[in-house]
Structure 1
Amino acid sequence: MGEIGGTNYNTPIMQDKSIDEVQSYVPLVIDTIISAINEVIDMGAQTLVVPGIFPIGCSSSILTLRGSQNKQEYDNITGCLIKFNKIAEYHNEVVQAKLKHLRELHPNVIMIYADYYNGAMQIIYSPVKFGFTNRVLKSCCGGGGPLNYNKFVICGHALSTVCDDPNAYAYLDGIHFTEAGYKIIFKSLFQGQYTTPSFNSLCPTPTPTSASQ
């Protein structure tokens, strides 16, 4: 179903909208997601993957534009902004509750929740474990600053710079992950524990013996 919702929150946050205003968008965004799900089910869809959204408060764009002098606003372990991650968590909780109801209405349709949030947070909590040896919240491509994000010199601008080794960075441009980052998230979704129900339970990977038979 695509990652519906990320831009709806990121844009007003970067425009300095209040936390209450941004959070008020959640029901509207969720209604759009549910409407889209119902539409494709009516068209005959039998299996759907419905993702949550990523941890907003960990992206270098938000950290740069909405940073605070108050250390209590940051998570002690990750350095992410707590209040913006709570919006993402709230959004994801509502999506999962709505999916539970939809599964009851459409018992013959498989609806898989993809936990983008925790798939990303595992990287942010343990970057070295996944091979990200540079500062995990710093962007590979950008216009300078502590986290290599500058709203006037974004990635792709003539004055922006790109890191020598993107595979050592989790974040690409202040919002999106690098290919290496997305690869880890992909594996954790399709081969790991970050989907409900799990892909492995629905489409188990054949063993070499069964594959050869």
Structure 2
Amino acid sequence: MLIISLSVLSNSRSYGAEEEIANFVFGDSNVDVGNNDYIVSLAKANNVPYGIDYGGPTGRFTNGRTIVDILDLAQTLGKFGQSPPYLAPTTKGSVILKGVNYASGGAGILNETGSVFRLYNMGAKKILVTNVGVIGCIPYERKLNLCLGNQCAANPNQLAQSYNVKLKSLLTELNNNLKGSNFVYGDTYGTFNEVIYHYQSYGFENVNSPCCSNNPWDKSGSLLLCSPSASVCCDRSKYAFWDPFHPTEATNMIIAKRLIDGNISYISPINIRQLLNS
């Protein structure tokens, strides 16, 4: 599942003071920046080769940066800094006021739904919510359905599409009913689907199997995440998926760029740049 709730919180202005922009993130392992390092969970990314292109493992479930890392650090935005994991010992006091990442591997949709309403009631009016991605195309699902060959699993994708239609409708309703709100819908499904079916135009060579592969993946069908003994592809930029569940930094970069400057085919009714300047 790929779902991100990214909230941009504008603090109240005081006379002569500049507007404060804070970035609060809720989601699952696709945007976890290390929260799972501090909880009891089977979902961990604190071992090599995770973070191989990020200076080492940090709890991010990819080889490098997550989507929100790229959004946070985008020099073209220049509005806010990188959001630290909420559970990190150093995330306290004034640090929290500048934005926090609450995302956790294994988190569910219902948790994020409540978070969005709480943020709105606390003053957050600019909120980006991305839909569920092409879960039927992740290597995990392909391995469960070997008879599909290079095709994606239809049922998971149909469920995702059904949910996404209702999510978009809900956000439109919230924009109409919550005074001053600006909910933006990011179509992660559409972007990733485009990458899967037109991968060569994006510079990818492999969109079916993970770059990081435990040996049993290829022999006995094991679906474990990347272990320290796993084999890793030489060029991560040629793979859409890092492990059986998560995209590579290269894929995250494509999605992030579409969220920042994409047209209404990828993010609506406005993109992140327009949202921040509104």
TM-score exceeds 0.5: yes
| Alignment correspondent of 1:54 | 133
Q: Please state how far the C-alpha of 1:146 moved relative to its aligned partner.
A: 5.4
Q: Please state how far the C-alpha of 1:160 moved relative to its aligned partner.
A: 1.1
Helix, strand or coil at the partner of 1:132: coil
> How many Å separate the matches in 2 of 1:129 and 1:59?
19
Q: Please state how far the C-alpha of 1:30 moved relative to its aligned partner.
A: 5.6
Please give the per-residue CA displacement for 1:49-104, whole angstroms capped at 9, x wherever unaligned.
0111111100001221x2153x5xx8xxx611010111111221121111111111
> How many Å separate the matches in 2 of 1:30 and 1:184?
24
The answer to whether 1:67 aligns with 2:145 is yes
Question: Match for 1:142 among 200, 213, 226?
Answer: 213
Code of the residue aligned with 2:212 in structure 1: it is C
Helix, strand or coil at the partner of 1:49: strand
Q: Please state how far the C-alpha of 1:138 moved relative to its aligned partner.
A: 1.3
The answer to whether 1:185 aligns with 2:255 is yes
Please give the per-residue CA displacement for 1:151-171, whole angstroms capped at 9, x wherever unaligned.
24x31x133110000001010
> How many Å separate the matches in 1 of 2:218 and 2:164?
30
Which runs of no fewer than 5 residues in structure 1 stay unpaired?
A: 8-28, 206-213
Helix, strand or coil at the partner of 2:156: helix
Q: Please state how far the C-alpha of 1:34 moved relative to its aligned partner.
A: 3.5
Code of the residue aligned with 1:175 in structure 2: it is F
| Alignment correspondent of 2:204 | 132
Are the structure 2 counterparts of residues 200 and 5 from structure 1 closer, same or farther at C-alpha, using a change threshold of 3 Å? closer
Helix, strand or coil at the partner of 2:171: helix
Are the structure 2 counterparts of residues 189 and 148 from structure 1 closer, same or farther at C-alpha, using a change threshold of 3 Å? farther
After superposition, residues 192-203 of structure 1 pair within 5 angstroms as: 192-193=262-263, 194-199=266-271, 202=274
> How many Å separate the matches in 2 of 1:127 and 1:114?
20
> How many Å separate the matches in 1 of 2:239 and 2:221?
14
Structure with the largest fraction of helix:
1
Are the structure 2 counterparts of residues 173 and 5 from structure 1 closer, same or farther at C-alpha, using a change threshold of 3 Å? closer
Q: TM-score, normalised by structure 1?
A: 0.71
Helix, strand or coil at the partner of 1:185: helix
| Alignment correspondent of 2:233 | 163
Instruction: Say whether the 8 Å CA contact 2:138–2:208 is kept in structure 1.
Output: yes
The answer to whether 1:84 aligns with 2:150 is no
Helix, strand or coil at the partner of 1:108: coil
> How many Å separate the matches in 2 of 1:35 and 1:105?
17
Helix, strand or coil at the partner of 2:174: helix
Measured on the aligned residues, the alpha-carbon RMSD in Å equals 2.9
> Please, which moves more after superposition, 32-41 or 161-170?
32-41
Instruction: Say whether the 8 Å CA contact 1:55–1:120 is kept in structure 2.
Output: yes
Helix, strand or coil at the partner of 1:113: strand
Which runs of no fewer than 5 residues in structure 2 stay unpaired?
A: 6-24, 31-107
Code of the residue aligned with 1:138 in structure 2: it is S
Q: TM-score, normalised by structure 2?
A: 0.56
> How many Å separate the matches in 2 of 1:103 and 1:147?
50
Are the structure 2 counterparts of residues 178 and 86 from structure 1 closer, same or farther at C-alpha, using a change threshold of 3 Å? same
Are the structure 2 counterparts of residues 186 and 132 from structure 1 closer, same or farther at C-alpha, using a change threshold of 3 Å? same
Instruction: Say whether the 8 Å CA contact 1:30–1:95 is kept in structure 2.
Output: no
> How many Å separate the matches in 1 of 2:125 and 2:220?
43
> How many Å separate the matches in 2 of 1:41 and 1:174?
35
Code of the residue aligned with 2:209 in structure 1: it is K
> How many Å separate the matches in 1 of 2:219 and 2:198?
18
Instruction: Say whether the 8 Å CA contact 2:126–2:275 is kept in structure 1.
Output: no
Instruction: Say whether the 8 Å CA contact 1:189–1:195 is kept in structure 2.
Output: yes
Percent identity over the alignment is 24
Are the structure 2 counterparts of residues 42 and 203 from structure 1 closer, same or farther at C-alpha, using a change threshold of 3 Å? closer
